[in-house]
Structure 1
Amino acid sequence: MQGHWRIIAAGLAGSALVPTTVSAQQRPDEKAFFELYKELVETNTVVDQGSCTRAARQIADRMKAAGYADSDLVLFSTPDHPEDGGLVATLPGSDPTLGAMLLLGHLDVVAAKREDWQRDPFKLVEEGGFYYARGSVDDKAMSSIWADAMIRFRQQSFRPKRTIRLALTCGEETTYAFNGADWLTKNRPDLVRADFVLNEGGGGRLDARGKRQALAIQVGEKAAQNFTFVATNPGGHSSAPTPENAIYDLADAIKRVQGYEFPIKFSDTTRAFFAASAKALPSPTSAAIQRLLADPTDQSADAIVSRDKVLHSTLRTTCVATLVNAGHAENALPQRATANVNCRIFPGESVEGTLAKLKELAGPKVTVTANQPVRPVAVPPPLDPKIMGPVQSLAAKHFPGVPVVPMMSTGATDGVFFGRLNMPVYGVPGLFLEPDLNGTHGLNERIRVTSLYEGRDYLFDLAKTLAQ
């Protein structure tokens, strides 16, 4: 996402530089939100270290105190993964014909080593206008905002026309972990079925001075899938080498992957994104984008646009070698060589189709398999005016002059699991981040205090509006 923001901001920075002005914790409801947020952030939810189950139970207790009945709250986990549980909450709507909407967040966070951090990663610290902690952004900011919104709706006796569901799950950050969103859509679709989902993935961009530059709504995302390449050989003594060598065979296969470009594809979202980028970027990139929009097979235009790595990855499926392992002794010919190839698959394309192409590229001397688990490929949602309209009108109210741009994430979220239920997923804007993405997944993760409370107000109004 960082690259998308860089591109958008390059052309729009001068049009909407609005300083943040909101003071935090001035209202009673803000103080209550802070307590929820602080408790969630300070609950360690690293997979295999902490407990999402505990975090979910804490939020459920707060919701019960706000007036939710036991029947409105479902705490779930499995015997094999007792600490990887989650919560589904329901606020019934008054008009069953309108269906439901789902507010989605994940409770788990990326691991954080105390010795590497300047502060305790599981202690919320306010310093210099920022909250520091692991998960202060990803994804405990949005999870806290959604839970807080559900509590406020009940406290205000708000009766939505559309049913509002909340799902807080575990396992998003770890490929091989138990994934609550995956489990719910497979085993309890009745709990989460809705007409659309509001999720992470969008956001806002600040410049280095904390001024707003742009907002983005994520409308579609790539699917992440790993593939294993294996070359084998009888081996032998290194003093008598032969042309057959597992390392060389693997290297040749990887080089063919490196040299292959998947064909350019456009979705409604990426077409809108590139149209906006063409207006913002200088020549020759702007002209080349226009040519690609007219003819995706234009190789010379592709070469120009693809000089930017983010634009390149937004145009197509990408596959890249990320891990290699070979040989068993320094004085022996290698008997086995393996590589991991990480692919980010464009919406609408399949894992099976990508695997077939990789097998073709690898050739007969190298086997290629898709690593488990095979995650589903995201279904690109429509640019629905019933969603986009409130997103844009409320952005104009809360963040005057800041443009809203649709984008496709080149990464992946738990939104991919809802395609099997034909539920469109939108990564909503509202939470403004710094140019370095706030240390998300890295050291000293942080969020600007005013950005958190501004985003909370925007997302509360958005959920309330879409439910009416």
Structure 2
Amino acid sequence: MITVGQEPTAEDEVVRFCQELIRIDTSNPGDHSGPGEREAAEYVAEKLEEVGLETRILESHPGRASLVARIEGEDPGRDALLLHGHLDVVPAQAEDWTHDPFGGEIIDGCVWGRGAVDMKNMDAMILAVVRQRLREGRRPPRDVVLAFLADEEAGGKWGAQWLVREHPELFEGCTEAVGEVGGFSLTVPGDRRMYLIETAEKGIAWMNLTARGTAGHGSMVHPDNAVTAVAGAVARLGSHEFPVRLTKSVRAFLERVCMAYGVEFDPERPEECLDKIGPMARMIGATLRNTLNPTRLDAGYKTNVIPQSATAQVDGRFLPGHEEEFFQVVDELLGPDVQRDFVHYDHAVETDYEGALVAAMEAALTAEDPGALPVPYCLSGGTDAKSFARLGMRCFGFAPLKLPPELDFSGMFHGVDERVPVDGLKFGVRVLDKFLDRA
């Protein structure tokens, strides 16, 4: 409860901000449209300007708006820190959800809605913490750049990629960046929690596959059938299993999982660690090796007409340091009759789990949760960190949330019934505030 005349704290504001951001429909269908992003950027601008921070909204395309602001630190000679979050969300079909995906309702102690996990929770936490610090006149030790971005859910073409290419001066001096998909808890024995800090991301290779042949009547013999060629390639790609490749982030995570459970880590059988971590095994398991998943097929227009071409799409992901191996295998599996090109490509990123910024994350977590066990990990997907890494920044995922053990948090990314605990949001702003004091 806020006393009349008393300034609200970050804990007072974070839940409301999360609700209100969810209610702004920023669904990103993956094309050039995204009408809700401008409204969301203006909402963020209003909240920051209320506490005296100058903001700048930039549009890469009509409606595709991102916001950037800079908070001056106590030591202008130090390198700057970037805090970034995206404003767009993947679409949601209301009939699939238990509650309105754009209602932002509080039910059973959670804020429900599209973006509650990915990633309007972090947007709200950044907003709430920055507002409290500015009201209280508490400057960070160094400059902090804030970026609320468009289009992350479709690869960042209209958001982070465009800003990095067209306005790199906005990030002048930034050597480190903190964004999404990290800092959340995973309960382990002894009433302790591992907090997964993202230090790596797999690379992205969304590919079009195309086969061409001779069009003709379905009753005749056609040795160069395009459908047969592309279907065979899809089957080979989809059934291929790459060998395990333990990158430094993945190995460090698995070693610490085994330590937490009191078992010995066996690098020859790393999958055995996954049995301990429940639903998180889906995400972590995908970081043991490169992966290929066929997702679309398209060919023909009539049953008795052999088409001249057939196409498919495949979602490929490669580990840091293993891109060359990945594409060599892909091309061998495709064979000579199927050609590939990119729907979307982005590089893999990885940084070391060390340094003052990592120490600041760990100290902030343990100050709020003495049972915290911070650990590095590799994300199977991708974020805007890929764009900022191109400017030479060390990138981390750190959106701190203390979660109940029964909540399948990783399963709600792009899933239905997305929700975030109210207590988790309040925990997050306390940790972020302490982190900024030390960063």
Which residue is equivalent to 1:330?
303
Answer whether contact 1:221 1:410 (CA < 8 A) is retained. Answer: yes
- DSSP-derived class of the 2:372 partner: coil
Which residue is equivalent to 2:64?
84
Answer whether contact 2:196 2:377 (CA < 8 A) is retained. Answer: yes
Which residue is equivalent to 1:397?
367
Pick the aligned partner of 1:105 from 85, 89, 93: 85
User: What's the CA shift string for 1:327-375, capped at 9, x where partnerless?
Assistant: 332123343221111111212344x76445422321111112222x433
Which residue is equivalent to 1:388?
358
1:394 to 1:343, Cα distance in 2 relative to 1, 3 A: same
* Distance in structure 1 (CA, Å) of the matches to 2:2 and 2:198: 29
Matches within 5 A, 1:337-376: 337-350=310-323, 354-371=326-343, 373-375=344-346
> Offset of 1:136 from its aligned partner?
1.9
Which residue is equivalent to 1:134?
114
> Offset of 1:201 from its aligned partner?
1.2
1:306 to 1:318, Cα distance in 2 relative to 1, 3 A: farther
User: What's the CA shift string for 1:397-443, capped at 9, x where partnerless?
Assistant: 21121322210001111111112101011111521342254733222
Are 2:26 and 1:66 aligned?
A: no
Q: Kindly, what percent of the aligned residue pairs are identical? A: 30
User: What's the CA shift string for 1:211-231, capped at 9, x where partnerless?
Assistant: 864211011111222111111
Amino acid at match of 1:344: R
* Distance in structure 1 (CA, Å) of the matches to 2:237 and 2:96: 36
Answer whether contact 1:204 1:215 (CA < 8 A) is retained. Answer: yes
Which residue is equivalent to 2:18?
37
Amino acid at match of 2:55: L
Amino acid at match of 2:163: L
Which residue is equivalent to 1:187?
166
Are 2:214 and 1:237 aligned?
A: no
> Is there any run of 5+ residues in structure 1 with no aligned partner, and where?
1-23, 292-300
1:66 to 1:355, Cα distance in 2 relative to 1, 3 A: same
1:443 to 1:257, Cα distance in 2 relative to 1, 3 A: closer
Answer whether contact 2:402 2:424 (CA < 8 A) is retained. Answer: yes
* Distance in structure 1 (CA, Å) of the matches to 2:389 and 2:96: 38
* Distance in structure 1 (CA, Å) of the matches to 2:314 and 2:366: 43
Amino acid at match of 1:268: K
Pick the aligned partner of 1:455 from 428, 435, 438: 428
Which residue is equivalent to 2:267?
290
TM-score (norm 2): 0.86
Which residue is equivalent to 1:270?
250
> Is there any run of 5+ residues in structure 2 with no aligned partner, and where?
276-280
Which residue is equivalent to 1:51?
36
Deviates more, 1:211-220 or 1:226-235: 211-220
1:364 to 1:166, Cα distance in 2 relative to 1, 3 A: same
Pick the aligned partner of 2:97 from 117, 141, 147: 117
- DSSP-derived class of the 1:393 partner: helix
Are 2:205 and 1:225 aligned?
A: yes
- DSSP-derived class of the 2:428 partner: helix
> Offset of 1:178 from its aligned partner?
4.2
Amino acid at match of 2:383: T
Answer whether contact 2:34 2:63 (CA < 8 A) is retained. Answer: no
Which residue is equivalent to 1:407?
377
Amino acid at match of 1:60: A
* Distance in structure 2 (CA, Å) of the matches to 1:227 and 1:50: 27
Matches within 5 A, 1:149-164: 149-164=129-144
* Distance in structure 1 (CA, Å) of the matches to 2:153 and 2:224: 40
User: What's the CA shift string for 1:23-61, capped at 9, x where partnerless?
Assistant: x97993133334433332222212336421121122212
* Distance in structure 2 (CA, Å) of the matches to 1:303 and 1:442: 25
> Offset of 1:140 from its aligned partner?
0.8
TM-score (norm 1): 0.81
Which residue is equivalent to 1:420?
390
- DSSP-derived class of the 2:170 partner: helix
* Distance in structure 2 (CA, Å) of the matches to 1:419 and 1:229: 29
Deviates more, 1:32-41 or 1:456-465: 32-41
> Offset of 1:453 from its aligned partner?
0.8
1:341 to 1:438, Cα distance in 2 relative to 1, 3 A: closer
* Distance in structure 2 (CA, Å) of the matches to 1:93 and 1:311: 37
Answer whether contact 1:118 1:444 (CA < 8 A) is retained. Answer: yes
* Distance in structure 1 (CA, Å) of the matches to 2:285 and 2:95: 37
* Distance in structure 2 (CA, Å) of the matches to 1:94 and 1:103: 17
Answer whether contact 1:185 1:417 (CA < 8 A) is retained. Answer: yes
> Offset of 1:192 from its aligned partner?
2.1
Greater helix share, 1 or 2? Answer: 1
* Distance in structure 2 (CA, Å) of the matches to 1:88 and 1:40: 17
Which residue is equivalent to 1:75?
57
- DSSP-derived class of the 2:81 partner: strand
1:357 to 1:461, Cα distance in 2 relative to 1, 3 A: same
* Distance in structure 1 (CA, Å) of the matches to 2:417 and 2:314: 30
Count of aligned residue pairs for this structure pair: 420
1:50 to 1:219, Cα distance in 2 relative to 1, 3 A: same
Are 2:397 and 1:432 aligned?
A: no
User: What's the CA shift string for 1:145-173, capped at 9, x where partnerless?
Assistant: 11222222211111333101100001011
Answer whether contact 2:187 2:194 (CA < 8 A) is retained. Answer: no
Amino acid at match of 1:409: L
User: What's the CA shift string for 1:51-103, capped at 9, x where partnerless?
Assistant: 211211222122222122xxx3211113xx22110111111123232110011
